């Protein structure tokens, strides 16, 4: 009993916000460190639309990651909601991982203004080092190192897994002494409905381009188990009839591909057979509708 208590006292636990522009690899990093697919990933902008938790429990303690939407200027209610999640993540965090990637060309003054007065520990994470040589990486470090009082600067490749463990170790060095916040077996707090809708949305992001990633969302209408099969009915919302045509594709080919790929992934996740029925619905202006945003993005 006493031994257990002593061990608990040596644990370090806390909240860590993943912050940065869109596409820099925040969600890829979260999945890498969690060794599980928690957040969806794509090469399109604004993939993550709300705060998603990844709870990493180790003997050293517990890190609760907040994967967040990329920093951007909001033009729709949806985007205002996304940026609110970014702010909440920052306020609640014990530590911030500020991500840039090796491709980054922008200056980061605005991003830094979001956390510079919060008085929190901030690491600079430079992602996608697999794409460049050492000289370019050193160049990037020297360009960004004086922009803020970073507690650590770590070049990583979230995709290849380089230095992901190092970031985890460094986080534990800075987190306050505290026991676990969540039960050990908990890894994320997403509902099944939300997870399913995200997997379908990821496939839409993978297979479409131009404005399609921005104008689509997914609402799971029904999910139930019947004779060992999980039966799911989901609706894909678009804003115009022309967009509906694109999602359905020639003789339904696009919708079929989206459904098949999402089903494979969901069967892996639930470890059960999945029957997935997808429909496309035109809902003009859904990105500005508070009712729909509450319904689908939670």
Provide the binding-site residues for Mg ion, judged by CB under 5 A.
Answer: 26-27, 47-48
Check residue 163 for interaction with ligand GTP (CB under 6 A).
Answer: no
Question: Which listed residue (14, 61, 69, 259) binds ligand GTP by CB under 6 A?
Answer: 69
Check residue 140 for interaction with ligand GTP (CB under 6 A).
Answer: no
Segment lying near ligand GTP (by CB under 6 A), choices 36-44, 108-116, 136-144, 147-155: 36-44
Nearer Cβ to ligand GTP (13/39) = 39
Distance CA 222, CA 177 (A): 43
Q: How far is CA 173 from CA 78, 124, 151, 176, 213, in A?
A: 36, 15, 11, 9, 39
Nearer Cβ to ligand GTP (11/201) = 201
Question: Which listed residue (104, 121, 157, 163) binds ligand GTP by CB under 6 A?
Answer: 157
For 139, the token pair is 């160049």
**40 with 208: CB under 8 angstroms?**
no
Which residues are within 8 A (CB) of 204 and not within 5 positions of it... i.e. 6 or more apart?
A: 212, 213, 216, 218, 236, 247, 258
Of 167, 173, 146, whose CA–CA distance to 155 is shortest?
A: 167
**Where does the chain show beta strands of DSSP type E?**
12-20, 52-58, 61-67, 95-101, 121-127, 152-155, 217-226, 229-238, 273-282
Question: Which listed residue (92, 107, 130, 177) binds ligand GTP by CB under 6 A?
Answer: 130
- Residue 158's binding partner, choosing from ligand GTP, Mg ion, none, with beta-carbon cut-off 5 to 8 A by kind? ligand GTP
Check residue 45 for interaction with ligand GTP (CB under 6 A).
Answer: yes
- Residue 57's binding partner, choosing from Mg ion, ligand GTP, none, with beta-carbon cut-off 5 to 8 A by kind? none
Check residue 24 for interaction with ligand GTP (CB under 6 A).
Answer: yes
How many residues belong to the site for ligand GTP (CB under 6 A)? Answer: 24
Check residue 127 for interaction with ligand GTP (CB under 6 A).
Answer: yes
Check residue 155 for interaction with ligand GTP (CB under 6 A).
Answer: no
For 225, the token pair is 């188990």
**Where does 185-250 show beta strands of DSSP type E?**
217-226, 229-238
Segment lying near ligand GTP (by CB under 6 A), choices 3-11, 155-163, 215-223, 247-255: 155-163
What are residue 19's phi and psi, to 5 degrees?
-125, 145
Q: How far is CA 278 from CA 252, 269, 281, in A?
A: 11, 19, 10
Segment lying near ligand GTP (by CB under 6 A), choices 19-27, 113-121, 236-244, 286-294: 19-27
Check residue 23 for interaction with ligand GTP (CB under 6 A).
Answer: yes
Check residue 206 for interaction with ligand GTP (CB under 6 A).
Answer: no
Distance CA 221, CA 258 (A): 17
Whole-number minimum distance, CB 159 to ligand GTP, in Å? 3
Distance CA 264, CA 21 (A): 30
The residues binding ligand GTP (CB under 6 A) are: 20, 22-28, 41-43, 45-48, 69-70, 127-128, 130-131, 157-159
């Amino acid at each position: 009993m006493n031994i257990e208590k002593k061990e608990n006292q040596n644990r370090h636990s806390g909240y860590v916000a993943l912050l940065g522009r869109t596409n820099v690899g925040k969600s890829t990093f979260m999945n890498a460190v969690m060794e599980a697919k928690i957040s969806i990933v794509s090469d399109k902008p604004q993939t993550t639309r709300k705060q998603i938790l990844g709870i990493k429990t180790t003997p050293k303690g517990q890190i609760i990651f907040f994967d967040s939407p990329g920093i951007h200027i909001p033009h729709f209610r949806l985007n205002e909601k996304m940026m609110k999640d970014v702010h909440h993540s920052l306020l609640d965090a014990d530590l911030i991982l500020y991500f840039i990637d090796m491709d980054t060309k922008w200056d980061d003054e605005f991003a830094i203004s979001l956390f510079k007065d919060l008085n929190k520990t901030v690491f600079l994470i430079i992602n996608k080092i697999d794409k460049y040589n050492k000289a370019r990486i050193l160049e990037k470090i020297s360009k960004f190192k004086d922009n803020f009082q970073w507690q650590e600067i770590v070049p990583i490749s979230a995709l290849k897994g380089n230095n992901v463990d190092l970031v985890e170790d460094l986080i534990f060095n800075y987190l306050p002494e505290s026991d676990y916040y969540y039960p050990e077996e908990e890894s994320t707090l997403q509902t099944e409905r939300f997870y399913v809708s995200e997997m379908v949305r990821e496939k839409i992001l993978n297979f479409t381009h131009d404005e399609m990633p921005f104008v689509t969302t997914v609402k799971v209408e029904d999910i139930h188990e019947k004779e060992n099969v999980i039966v799911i009915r989901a609706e894909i919302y678009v804003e115009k009839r022309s967009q509906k045509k694109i999602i359905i594709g020639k003789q339904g080919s696009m919708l079929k591909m989206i459904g098949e790929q999402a089903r494979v992934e969901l069967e892996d996740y639930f470890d059960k057979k999945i029957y997935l029925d997808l429909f496309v619905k035109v809902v003009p202006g859904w990105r500005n509708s508070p009712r729909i945003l509450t319904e689908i993005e939670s």
